[in-house]
Amino acid sequence: MSVRQSLLAILDQGPCYGYQLRAEFDRRTGSTWPLNVGQIYNTLERLERDGLVERGEPDDQGHVYWQITDAGSAEVAQWLSSPVVRTQATRDELAIKLAVAATLPGVDVTAVIQAQRRASLSHLQSMQRAKYAGGDPEGSAELAWSLVVDSMIFAAEAEVRWLDHTEQRLAPHPDHAMGLELATERPKRGRPANQEATAR
């Protein structure tokens, strides 16, 4: 999730001060990714350094309004018109945990999967309850919030399906048949051979 571009997109609607930006971000995302004020101001300072926003003078209440520059508006337009690229090399903690657990002798991987499934289903149910407890689905803020929650619900459903799939794939390997003992051959120093080949 890009805090930087999200804050810039909000500032493209008009000048805001830090707490106002946080409130606007929360209003548009249903507080699903809470931001602290320190994170907001750190991001604003980096945006200022990059010439994308300008800091105004404090008002009578001491609020410092931040205003987007032409370069900032151009970056917002670029962000909104470009697809989000999901990198292949993401480190999904759950996938890594199960891959390692499946190769550890003596680990009951089924129990690990079942514990995760219970937690994932509980999380999914709480999001579904939150969605249906919402207000008018046609209101702008409600609609924006429900889009974010829908995305999280679909991701949670996909995780549960993947856990089911993983459990079925591991079923033919009873008694930890996939267990890997520590390798007796000591690894050589330096990069593995396949990385050396791709680096050339």
Nearest to 163 by CA among 94, 87, 93, 89: 94
Please give the Cα distance from 47 to 16 (Å, whole number): 14
In the chain, the amino acid numbered 128 is Q
DSSP 187: P
Looking at domain 3-81, its CATH architecture is Orthogonal Bundle (1.10)
In the chain, the amino acid numbered 55 is R
CA-angle at 123, arms to 117 and 126, nearest 5°: 140
Domain ranges of the chain: 3-81, 93-176
| pLDDT, one tens digit for every residue, the chain (200 residues) | 488 999 999 999 999 999 999 988 888 877 677 788 899 999 999 999 999 999 998 899 999 999 999 999 999 999 988 887 766 655 678 888 888 888 777 778 888 899 999 999 999 998 888 777 665 556 677 777 788 888 889 999 999 999 999 989 888 766 555 666 667 777 777 665 555 444 44
Confidence (pTM): 0.64
